[in-house]
Structures are given as structure tokens and as C-alpha cells.
């Protein structure tokens, strides 16, 4: 089988050289365009020949054989490499296919993706089959291999075993280890984690860190232990420190941390002149943040803030490809590379008027912005959840004295619950509410309270969470039961109920975590959800991230997890989960 694959690839490469010899017609010719050579950082007049998904020629000549070629005159147009999102979490309500194809219509044609959700939803065989299916999209999809769950699981050792981690690292489309949210364990002597990092490095892969607020000593030790990059810097000084220590640095522009404009201003004020080790990332933002695209928006900010034009485009293409060892595939317009090309109206306008991805037109018209094929999710066991258990009033017994206090969208502190939570309805004169995390399979639960999320909402029930377990938040136990019943009927989703009425529902029929429709429809649903929660007293910007990160132990200070209520800093279970 391997020999057949090599024979097929050999024939393909011979065909490419036959195009140069004039024996075979290319499939597309882009003539008279001006392209950015990302190696020399120069704009040059050129003709580009493409054979199916590959660029075979860039230069002054036109092909001798053109009988079967689509010839596109790019006179007055500017051509840059397809953009790369180097740090994607492609399952923030949306699914990877919808996210990638939406981004491709705005010029982001390659993605380096988090694999966390597949660890929770699928066994290895099904997960690897899913990666194969996504490779057939007309975009380039690559993956990380997570070393930790960024929460406290009941079966952490089993899910993130050496066998599982190494199996992920050996997958052809996996090109990175991390992101490493469990770095404190590494510093504390976790040699199993260090072994996984060494294996990733042995395979030629970088390892992505997650090092918010790290000191110079911590950054130095993490570099010594094998961490290659970090995207958590929130000041220009922190970026400079990472660059000086030899890190590749991702500048973040996300719905939670839209830091990119200020970071660039501060870097330029610091006198930075080399941008080759900088990338930009949107770091898994919520759907509405992508209304105008993905990396094209980041490039626009970089240009507006004064990054030299060639470097701004390289930060969204060449730099990422070079860092990940993909420069022979992506990140530049040159022979042998995938035909991922953005055609621009103006040199300093990064929003493409047409997009080529793997040699297919993505953005020539609105009709062509739709995915060219749909993933058969059900064949990979991604389908509506068939709940085999039910919720009862007995499950909603709240007596724990400690609750979670939202300080902002994602930072949570512990607080002593003074409100009576033994009642069926918590009064609206307080911003306390019931909070319950229920096992996806109905085997355990964690009951507490949350302060600062709402002052009067009856209930929100969500199967969208860090681990895919069920989150319940609300003032009324009866509304919680009502919202649960509807969410169960949907097979997963987010449902809001109040005063005995369903006010909102977002079906997440792809394993209870992802929306099956278009990202445009999802954006409208998200807007409605945010407005509704705001009307019911949610005071922050992003309730989607609040729900997602309730269980995320890479953030301070207290979380509700499969193990129970966790003190993140002490890594202690304060109140354990209750078996049903």
C-alpha cells in the first residue's frame, strides 16, 4: 500500500515536470499578476502555472501547452500566499469543516488545529479516521497532539496515556505537541510529560506552550525542557522577552484577548525590526468574532499599525509554515507548493477578491464560498447524543458551602455561599444561581452555586463544555428541568428556559458540542444568545467562554470538574463529585 502511494506521487511529480517541458497543459494559469515573494520580501510581476493542487511554475513565461488551462488575467492584481491560522480551536460551537471553509472564503486556507475535542468524543480509531476525512476538504488541515486535558478528569491517566499520546504524535497530519497547559506539572517533575515532549522533538515537531505571566526563569526552564513557542504574551515587553529567549511567538487577537493592536504598537516602540519569528492567531474565538474573516483581519491590523507590508503578510503565512516545517507545502508562492493563493485588489488590502485553495476556487463568487463537500459526521460517530438517563429533583440538592464567583468572563474565585440554596427558586435580589455539572452519561454530578452570571434567569442548560459534560445554571429548579428536557430532545445544545417557557435553543447535534449548520446561521444564534443573557443580567462580553471554561484548570482560581470543585493553585479537590 505504501509502495502504491509512492508510485502515485512519483507519477504526479513527473507530470509536473512535463508541464514545464510543454508536454502537458496546466489546469490554471494566473498571468500578469504581481506577487509577493516571501523569501526576498519583494513584489514581482509574474505568471503562475498550476497543475491541479500544486504550483508548478512562477516566472516570466507562459506555458506552451494551454489547451486545458483556465487562464486568469491578474493584471493590476496582487497575489499573496494563502493565510495560515497557526493556533486554531475549531470547535467553539462551530465544527471544523464550517469554520475552515468560512475562513477560506476570506483567504485563510490552512489551519493548525487543537485535537482536544476528539480525545473526549471519539476513540483513537474513529478520531484518526476523522482526521483523514477532513484532509479531503479543499483547505489544509493539520493538528496538535495534546498532552493534557486542561481540566481534572476522572480517567485522565487512561485518556492521556503514553500509548494514546504517542499514537497521536505518529499521525501524518499531526505536526505539533501541546498546547501545554499542564506546564506546572512539568516543572514539578512530571517525567512522563517530559518524555512525551522529547518524543515530539525526536519526531521533528515543535511543542506549543501556554505560559501566561511566566517569569524569565520559568520561560528559560520551559525552553530548556523543550517548549518551542508561546501565544500568551499580553504586553510588548513579554513578547520581546520570549523572542530574546528563542521562542516563536503568536500575537493573539481573540474574542477574549484582542491584544494584537497594542502588542504591535509596543513592539514597534521597543524598536523591533525583525518579524520573522512572529505569527498571529485568533486562538479559537467564538463565532461572531469571525464575521469578517480570520487571518485577513489580523493582517489588516498589522498593516495599519505599521508592520512593513511584506512582513505583515509573512506573519500570516511564511513565518508559520517555516516554523511548523511546512515551508515546502505552504506559506509561499513557489514551485511545488500547494496552490493556496489570495488575489488582492490592492497591495495593502489583505481582504482577497478571489481565493485559490489546493487549486480550487473558494472565493470567486458567493456561491463558491460554500463547502465543496460535506463531512459525513455520522459515519465517524459524531451524531446527536442519545441520552439514556434522566434528571430528577433529587439530583438538584445543593448544600455545598463554597461556590464559584465570576470576576470576568473566565476568571473565577471561590466564595462562601450565604444565600439559601436549599430552596426551589433563588430570589432575584441576589446574583447567586444554582450551578451543576452533570456527567454526560448520568453517572455523577457536582452541585454548587455561581455568583455573577445572572440575577434572574430561570435556567440555562448546555451540553457544550470543556469535556462534553452537561452544565446547568439558573435560579429555578423547575426551569432547569424544563431546559434539560428540551436539550435532551435536541440531542445536545444550549437551551434557555424562564418562568416555564423555552426562550432560546441552539441545537448542537454534532455530539452535543458543535453546530451542524452554516457558520453564518450560527453567528445569528450566538448574537441572540448573548443578548438574551445580557438582558438577564450577564455582565461580561462572552458567555460562551464562561460556560466552556467552568471546568478549565489552566485558569485561576477555582473550577468545577469531573472530580469535583478544584482549587487550581493548590491542585486540591475541595468537594468531590457525587456518584448518582
CATH code for the domain in which residue 226 is found: 3.20.20.140
Residues 129 and 264 both lie in one domain: yes
Residues 462 and 574 both lie in one domain: yes
pLDDT at residue 364 above 70? no
Residues 130 and 248 both lie in one domain: yes
- Strand pairing report for 493-498 and 207-209: unpaired
Q: For CA atoms 439, 445, 451, 456, give the dihedral sign.
A: positive
Q: Which residues contact 529 (CB under 8 A, 6 or more apart)?
A: 494, 496, 504, 506, 543, 544
Mean predicted lDDT score pLDDT of the chain: 96
Q: How confident is the model at residue 373 (pLDDT cuts 50, 70, 90)?
A: low
3-state secondary structure of 208: strand
CA separation for the pair 252, 292 (Å, rounded):
17
CA separation for the pair 513, 490 (Å, rounded):
12
pLDDT at 3: 64
Strands (E), 107-173: 108-113, 140-145
Residues 110 and 253 both lie in one domain: yes
In a domain, 575, yes or no: yes
Q: How confident is the model at residue 368 (pLDDT cuts 50, 70, 90)?
A: very low
Domain that includes residue 271, residue range: 82-300
In a domain, 72, yes or no: no
For 572, other C-beta atoms within 10 Å of its C-beta total 10
pLDDT at 200: 98
In a domain, 470, yes or no: yes
CA separation for the pair 108, 553 (Å, rounded):
31
Q: How confident is the model at residue 67 (pLDDT cuts 50, 70, 90)?
A: confident
Residues 436 and 290 both lie in one domain: no
Residue found by looking up cell 505569527 in the block: 279
Residues 523 and 399 both lie in one domain: yes
Residues 403 and 279 both lie in one domain: no
pLDDT at residue 372 above 70? no
Stretch 475-494: mean pLDDT: 98
Residues 267 and 403 both lie in one domain: no
In a domain, 28, yes or no: no
Share of the chain above pLDDT 70, in %: 98
476-483: which pairs have CB atoms within 8 A and are 24 or more residues apart? 476/424, 476/425, 476/426, 477/393, 477/396, 477/424, 477/425, 477/434, 478/424, 478/425, 480/391, 480/396, 480/434, 480/436, 481/391, 481/393, 482/458, 483/458, 483/459
Residues 288 and 399 both lie in one domain: no
Q: How confident is the model at residue 294 (pLDDT cuts 50, 70, 90)?
A: very high
Q: Which residues contact 296 (CB under 8 A, 6 or more apart)?
A: 83, 106, 107, 108, 350, 351, 352
Stretch 316-331: mean pLDDT: 98
pLDDT at 66: 87
pLDDT at residue 232 above 50? yes
pLDDT at 367: 42
Residue 482, class by beta-carbon neighbours within 10 Å (0-12 exposed, 13-18 middle, 19+ buried)? buried
Least confident of 25-29, 146-150, 366-370, 509-513: 366-370
Q: How confident is the model at residue 365 (pLDDT cuts 50, 70, 90)?
A: very low
Residue 411, class by beta-carbon neighbours within 10 Å (0-12 exposed, 13-18 middle, 19+ buried)? middle
Q: For CA atoms 319, 320, 322, 328, give the dihedral sign.
A: negative
Stretch 37-54: mean pLDDT: 98
Stretch 350-360: mean pLDDT: 97
pLDDT at 219: 98
For 132, other C-beta atoms within 10 Å of its C-beta total 13
* Spatial CA neighbour of 340 closest among 16, 15, 54: 54
**Interval 554-573: pLDDT, tens:** 999 999 999 999 999 999 99
The domain boundary, picked from 300, 330, 351, lies at: 300
Residue 567, class by beta-carbon neighbours within 10 Å (0-12 exposed, 13-18 middle, 19+ buried)? middle
pLDDT at residue 208 above 80? yes
Stretch 501-505: mean pLDDT: 98
Residues 296 and 398 both lie in one domain: no
Q: What is the largest CA-CA distance in the chain?
A: 82
The C-alpha cell at 143 is 493538528
pLDDT at residue 262 above 90? yes
In a domain, 192, yes or no: yes
Q: How confident is the model at residue 8 (pLDDT cuts 50, 70, 90)?
A: confident
Q: How confident is the model at residue 374 (pLDDT cuts 50, 70, 90)?
A: confident
The domain boundary, picked from 250, 283, 300, lies at: 300
* Cβ–Cβ under 8 Å, residues 395 and 476: no
Distances (CA, A) of 459 to 384, 397, 448, 492, 501: 22, 16, 15, 16, 10
3-state secondary structure of 32: strand
The domain boundary, picked from 270, 300, 330, lies at: 300
pLDDT at 366: 45
pLDDT at residue 5 above 80? no
In a domain, 398, yes or no: yes
pLDDT at residue 546 above 70? yes
Stretch 172-187: mean pLDDT: 96
Number of domains within the chain: 2
In a domain, 427, yes or no: yes
Provide the CA 368 distance to its chain's centre, in angstroms: 24
In a domain, 341, yes or no: no
Amino acid at each position: 500500500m505504501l509502495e502504491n502511494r509512492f508510485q502515485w506521487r512519483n507519477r504526479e511529480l513527473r507530470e509536473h515536470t512535463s508541464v514545464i517541458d510543454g508536454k502537458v497543459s496546466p489546469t490554471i494559469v494566473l498571468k500578469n499578476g504581481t506577487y509577493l515573494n516571501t523569501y526576498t520580501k519583494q513584489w514581482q510581476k509574474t505568471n503562475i502555472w498550476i497543475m491541479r493542487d500544486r504550483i508548478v511554475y512562477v516566472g516570466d513565461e507562459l506555458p506552451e501547452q494551454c489547451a486545458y488551462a483556465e487562464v486568469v488575467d491578474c493584471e493590476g492584481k496582487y497575489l499573496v500566499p494563502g493565510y495560515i491560522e497557526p493556533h486554531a480551536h475549531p470547535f467553539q460551537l462551530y465544527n471544523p469543516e464550517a469554520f475552515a471553509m468560512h475562513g477560506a472564503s476570506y483567504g485563510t486556507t490552512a489551519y493548525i488545529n487543537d485535537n482536544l475535542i476528539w480525545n473526549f468524543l471519539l476513540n483513537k480509531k474513529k478520531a484518526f479516521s476523522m482526521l483523514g476525512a477532513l484532509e479531503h476538504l479543499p483547505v489544509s488541515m493539520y493538528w496538535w497532539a495534546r498532552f493534557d486535558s486542561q481540566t481534572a478528569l476522572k480517567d485522565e491517566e487512561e485518556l492521556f496515556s503514553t500509548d494514546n499520546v504517542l499514537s497521536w504524535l505518529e499521525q501524518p497530519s499531526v505536526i505539533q505537541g501541546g498546547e501545554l497547559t499542564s506546564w506546572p506539572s512539568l516543572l514539578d517533575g512530571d517525567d512522563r510529560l517530559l518524555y512525551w515532549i522529547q518524543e515530539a522533538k525526536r519526531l521533528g515537531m515543535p511543542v506549543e506552550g501556554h505560559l501566561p505571566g511566566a517569569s524569565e526563569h520559568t520561560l528559560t526552564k520551559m525552553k530548556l525542557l523543550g517548549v518551542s513557542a508561546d501565544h500568551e504574551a499580553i504586553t510588548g515587553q513579554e513578547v520581546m522577552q520570549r523572542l530574546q529567549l528563542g521562542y516563536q511567538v503568536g500575537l493573539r487577537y481573540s474574542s477574549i484577548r484582542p491584544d494584537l493592536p497594542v502588542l504591535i504598537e509596543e513592539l514597534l516602540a521597543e524598536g523591533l525590526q525583525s518579524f520573522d519569528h512572529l505569527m498571529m492567531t485568533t486562538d479559537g474565538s467564538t463565532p461572531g468574532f469571525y464575521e469578517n474573516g480570520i487571518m485577513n483581519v489580523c493582517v489588516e491590523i498589522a498593516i495599519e499599525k505599521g508592520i512593513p507590508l511584506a512582513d505583515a503578510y509573512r506573519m500570516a503565512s511564511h513565518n508559520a509554515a517555516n516554523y511548523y516545517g511546512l515551508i515546502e507545502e505552504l506559506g509561499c508562492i513557489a514551485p511545488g507548493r500547494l496552490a493556496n493563493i489570495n488575489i488582492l485588489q490592492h497591495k495593502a488590502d489583505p481582504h482577497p477578491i478571489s481565493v485559490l485553495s489546493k487549486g480550487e476556487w473558494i472565493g470567486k463568487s458567493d456561491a463558491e464560498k460554500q463547502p465543496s463537500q460535506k463531512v459525513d459526521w455520522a459515519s465517524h460517530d459524531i451524531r446527536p447524543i442519545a441520552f439514556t438517563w434522566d434528571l430528577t429533583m433529587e439530583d438538584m440538592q445543593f448544600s455545598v458551602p463554597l461556590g464559584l464567583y465570576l470576576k470576568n468572563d473566565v476568571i473565577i474565585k471561590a466564595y462562601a455561599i450565604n444565600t439559601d440554596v436549599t430552596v426551589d427558586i433563588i430570589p432575584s435580589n441576589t446574583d447567586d444561581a444554582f450551578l451543576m455539572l452533570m456527567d454526560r452519561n448520568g453517572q455523577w454530578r457536582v452541585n454548587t452555586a455561581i455568583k455573577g452570571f445572572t440575577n434572574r434567569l430561570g435556567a440555562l442548560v448546555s451540553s457544550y463544555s470543556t469535556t462534553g459534560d452537561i452544565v446547568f445554571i439558573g435560579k429555578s429548579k423547575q426551569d432547569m428541568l424544563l431546559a434539560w428536557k428540551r436539550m435532551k430532545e435536541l440531542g445536545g445544545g444550549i437551551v434557555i428556559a424562564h418562568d416555564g417557557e423555552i426562550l432560546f435553543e441552539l441545537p448542537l447535534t454534532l455530539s452535543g458540542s458543535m453546530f451542524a449548520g452554516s457558520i453564518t446561521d450560527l453567528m445569528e444564534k450566538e448574537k441572540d444568545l448573548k443578548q438574551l443573557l445580557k438582558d438577564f443580567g450577564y455582565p461580561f462580553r462572552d458567555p460562551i467562554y464562561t460556560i466552556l471554561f467552568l471546568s478549565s484548570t489552566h485558569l485561576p482560581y477555582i473550577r468545577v470538574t469531573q472530580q469535583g470543585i478544584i482549587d487550581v493553585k493548590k491542585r486540591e479537590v475541595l468537594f468531590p463529585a457525587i456518584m448518582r
